[in-house]
Amino acid sequence: MLKLATAFANTLNESACGEISVGFGIYQDTCPEAEPIIFSWVEKAVAEDPRMAASLLRLHFHDCFGCDASVLLDDTQNFVGEKTAAPNLNSLRGFEVIDSIKSELESVCPQTISCADILVTVARDSVVLSGGPTWEIQMGRRDSLSASKAAANNDIPGPNSTVATLVAKFENVGLALNDMVALSGAHTIGKARCPTFSARLQVTDQNGLDNNLDFVASLQQLCSGSDSSTAVAHLDLVTPATFDNQYYVNLLSGEGLLPSDQVLVSGDEQTREIVETYAEDPFVFFEDFKISMLKMGALRGPTGSNGEIRKNCRTIN
């Protein structure tokens, strides 16, 4: 399947991505230490904070409706960045890990590895360290010269999205319905704050979601305290730190945390069938997830003078 994924990704690069020259083994001669350095930092970060695996994977997702490391840029006088966009505020974390990786890479291979390539690689490594599949990374991305809070608010699907909205957001960047369902499986690890799933706290759901009453009661208890705005719940309550197919099993039991998760079962027959397939066979999920990650990692991004290799991921050179 890796050969299939590689061939598929190469075809994607030639067609959908125009001039973006991502490929395999690009840094074998110029910076062979790159991937081992990145993995060592991710391994250290996850050992110190197991939740960091999901956080780093999330960083990649929220960047990769462009795959240009724009999500890492701090605000400047010229633009308001993406860190304070609604999908990212009080949600994204792991920036310091990226800083540490970039600092070491700059000392070993100055201005060679882009921040965008770092994000793609830490996402893969986070999945591997959580017990999930591995795949070969395509490299060669360039970093953006700006960022857009408005674009992040508009492009990133929200936690209350319907299937139609999810499909539209993914198709807008060149990803299909199957990719959307496979990539949603990233929610097999990580946590979410109560405000993001408040719609799941109703016994009779207004959105037609499949509600598990015991599950809803547990969420109501968690989110009823004075600290409800900061309280968090596991996206996968059964195996919260393991990258597996349990997320899809949970959906079939009415235990999807976010409305945009549970709607994959209750909101569309086609997405439900895919969920059922993944719940039955983790290997099918793993293979589809790898292929969709390669597709997402090769999405639109800056080329030539429209991008750069940043020395510091938080600022343009």
> Which are the catalytic amino acids?
62
Residue 117 assigned to a binding site: no
The torsion of the CA quartet 234, 236, 237, 241, rounded to 10 degrees, works out to -80
What is the C-alpha separation between 69 and 144, in angstroms, rounded? Answer: 6
Rounded Cα distance, 28 and 111, in Å? 15
The pair phi, psi for residue 192, each rounded to 5°, is: -140, 150
- Residue 22 backbone class (left: φ over 0; alpha: ψ -120 to 50; beta: rest): beta
Can you name the residues that pair with 143 across neighbouring β-strands?
A: 308
**254 belongs to an annotated ligand binding site:** no
- Beta strand pairing status for 23-24 and 191-193? unpaired
The SS3 of residue 232 is strand
Q: Is 68 annotated as a binding residue?
A: yes
Q: According to the annotation, is 63 in a ligand binding site?
A: yes
234 is in an annotated binding site: no
- Six-digit token pair at 106? 């700059």
How far is it, in rounded angstroms, from Cα 37 to Cα 39?
Answer: 6
CA atoms within 13 A on the CB side of 239: 15
Is there a binding annotation on residue 125?
no
244 is an annotated ligand-binding site residue: yes
Binding site as annotated, residues for heme b: 187
Binding-site residue ranges: 63, 66, 68, 70, 82, 157, 187-188, 236, 239, 244
Indicate the annotated binding residues for substrate.
157
Binding residues for Ca(2+): 63, 66, 68, 70, 82, 188, 236, 239, 244
